[in-house]
Amino acid sequence: MIGGLFIYNHKGEVLISRVYRDDIGRNAVDAFRVNVIHARQQVRSPVTNIARTSFFHVKRSNIWLAAVTKQNVNAAMVFEFLYKMCDVMTAYFGKISEENIKNNFVLIYELLDEILDFGYPQNSETGALKTFITQQGIKGQTKEEQSQITSQVTGQIGWRREGIKYRRNELFLDVLESVNLLMSPQGQVLSAHVSGRVVMKSYLSGMPECKFGMNDKIVIDKQGKGGASDDAGKSGKQSIAIDDCTFHQCVRLSKFDSERSISFIPPDGEYELMRYRTTKDIILPFRVIPLVREVGRTKLEVKVVIKSNFKPSLLAQKIEVRIPTPLNTSGVQVICMKGKAKYKASENAIVWKIKRMAGMKESQISAEIELLPTNDKKKWARPPISMNFEVPFSPSVSKGPHLEGLGFKFNVGAHKTPL
């Protein structure tokens, strides 16, 4: 199991060091600094073995988190734990920065004591943790409160505490999708997939039993379920095939497996209920057509055309196109038909923003990029252009027209605590 956990700043100074196992010595702290943080090259592996000690490391802005062990631990678990640790810290004090960590080091030690025992991760749901790790001491609690805390921390519903009350019961649901597209230089789509997240904000009283139904148009293509794909064929275009989905730990997985229903008692506040992935029949909401021409060694001409590829009645909002520029850019001149575009030197990109755009429209931007002559033989790797936009929620469309028809039935039931 995890033998120790260290947090460093970018210089390699230790901010937090907690050792759980006897086989991890102080020299491990230094070994990591010397071999990984001070190593000049980029990280070649997130797991580094130095003198029979394994270091699992992740970096958040300038901060390094490293979990250390000498045993054959569950590597996936260690990384999941490190991410969780980041989430918990963010939930307590915001951004993970050197300043914040130093300011909260007592709290962090307290958290580390609670969520990792002898290197075994324990309950790490912020909802539960916040009930008893408060930085206030716990002397004021009554016996009932105490046992409530412990039963919650160890209970089946570790993510939610009892006795939550809201004057208005509210629930918000966001579907965020990212379309990942790989195109050949000839413009042929090599692979495309959508990874979506259903994010919920729930402000519900008591212990609400929620059910989240997917309408008949969704087919979860767990190839194993023999009949599923046939049904999809019959219902025609309407169906949406989801390759796979994963759920927050509040969802009863065995029930989903047997009845296809998503039932759960939600955590309080914001959380990610589910993720899904789909690769079939992806209709791209936009087409982006870039044209790059090198004029001599010191000039680059870029033209990008975007075409909205959905029903004219729909409206995309807050469109942002990010066009990367070479590192040796000295100046940029942009002309765009619609919206505003700006060269941001610090981000090495031209950022083009359009407030809204209806379906089946087209817009373009052209830019002249002046380059400083360099001796660097490495050519510019031409990073991909990225694009962000929103389609406001409507009953039939969540975000991105390819999800048209994806609907959600929602049903908050059972016991609402009387106010």
Partner 1 sequence: MTDSKYFTTTKKGEIFELKAELNSDKKEKKKEAVKKVIASMTVGKDVSALFPDVVNCMQTDNLELKKLVYLYLMNYAKSQPDMAIMAVNTFVKDCEDPNPLIRALAVRTMGCIRVDKITEYLCEPLRKCLKDEDPYVRKTAAVCVAKLHDINAQLVEDQGFLDTLKDLISDSNPMVVANAVAALSEIAESHPNSNLLDLNPQTINKLLTALNECTEWGQIFILDCLANYTPRDDRESQSICERVTPRLSHANSAVVLSAVKVLMKFMEMLPKDLDYYGTLLKKLAPPLVTLLSAEPELQYVALRNINLIVQRRPEILKHEMKVFFVKYNDPIYVKLEKLDIMIRLASQANIAQVLAELKEYATEVDVDFVRKAVRAIGRCAIKVEQSAERCVSTLLDLIQTKVNYVVQEAIVVIKDIFRKYPNKYESVIATLCENLDSLDEPEARAAMIWIVGEYAERIDNADELLESFLEGFHDESTQVQLQLLTAIVKLFLKKPTETQELVQQVLSLATQDSDNPDLRDRGYIYWRLLSTDPVAAKEVVLAEKPLISEETDLIEPTLLEELICHIGTLASVYHKPPSAFVEGSRGVQHKRLPGSAGSVESPDPGAAATETPPAVIPSQGDLLGDLLNLDLTPTTTTGPPPPTTSGMQMGAMDLLSGGLDSLVGLLHQGPPSLSASPSTTTASLYFLFFPSTLLVTSVWVAQDVCGHVSAQVWLPAMKAKGLEISGVFVRRAGVIQMEMTLTNKAMSVMTDFAIQFNRNSFGLAPAGPLQILTPLSPNQSIEPLNNLQVAVKNNIDVFYFSCQYPISMLFVEDGKMERQVFLATWKDIPNDNESQFQIKDCHLNSDAASNKLQSSNIFTIAKRTVEGQDMLYQSMKLTNGIWVLAELRVQAGNPNYTISLKCRAPEVSQCVFQNYEAVLKN
Q: Is 389 in the site for partner 1 (CB under 8 A)?
A: no
Q: Per-residue x/- marks for partner 1, 274-313, CB under 8 A?
A: xx-x------------------------------------
List 258's β-bridge partners, or say none. none
269 touches 164 (CB < 8 A): no
The length of the chain is 419
Smallest distance, partner 1 to C-beta of residue 347, A? 14
Phi, psi of 3 (to 5 degrees): -95, -25
The residue whose two tokens read 């194993």 is 224
Per CB under 8 A, the segment of 164-172, 361-369, 376-384, 392-400 that binds partner 1 is: 376-384
Site for partner 1 contains 230 (CB under 8 A): no
| Residue 124 in tokens | 């790490």
Stretch that binds partner 1, among 72-80, 302-310, 337-345, 393-401 (CB under 8 A): 72-80
Which residues, 6+ apart, have CB-to-CB distance to 18 below 8 Å? 4, 5, 6, 109, 112, 113, 116
Residue 103 in contact with partner 1, rule: CB under 8 A:
yes
Exactly one of 64, 256, 352, 389 binds partner 1 (CB under 8 A); that residue is: 256
Q: Is 259 in the site for partner 1 (CB under 8 A)?
A: no
CA geometry: angle at 76 spanning 72 and 78, to 5°?
A: 70
The C-alpha angle with vertex 220 and arms to 283 and 224, in degrees rounded to 5, equals 125
Binding characters for partner 1, 232-251, by CB under 8 A (x = yes): -----------xxxxxxx--
Q: What is the dihedral of CA 111, 113, 114, 118, to 10 degrees?
A: 140
167 interacts with partner 1 by CB under 8 A:
no
Among 87, 110, 162, 368, indicate the residue that binds partner 1 (CB under 8 A): 110
Binding flag, residue 212, partner 1 (CB under 8 A): no
Please tell me whether residue 72 binds partner 1 under the rule CB under 8 A: yes
Interactions with partner 1, residue window 317-356 (CB under 8 A): none
Residue of 201, 211, 222, 280 that binds partner 1 (CB under 8 A) = 222
Stretch that binds partner 1, among 271-279, 333-341, 361-369, 406-414 (CB under 8 A): 271-279
How many chain residues are in contact with partner 1, going by CB under 8 A?
108
Give me 418's structure tokens: 């009387």
Q: What's the gap between Cα 298 and its chain centre?
A: 38
Among 61, 184, 346, 375, interactor with partner 1 by CB under 8 A: 184
**CA atoms of 311 and 401, how far apart (whole Å):** 8
Q: Which is nearer to partner 1, 167 or 381 (CB)?
A: 381
Q: How far is CA 95 from the centre of its chain?
A: 15
Does the footprint of partner 1 cover residue 122 (CB under 8 A)?
yes
Nearest to 130 by CA among 83, 80, 87, 166: 87
Annotate each residue in 125-144 with x if it binds partner 1 (CB under 8 A) or - if it does not, as one string: x------x--xxxxx-x-x-
To partner 1, the closest distance from the beta carbon of 262 in angstroms equals 10
Question: Is residue 271 within 8 Å of residue 87, measured between CB atoms?
Answer: no
382's tokens: 């031409």
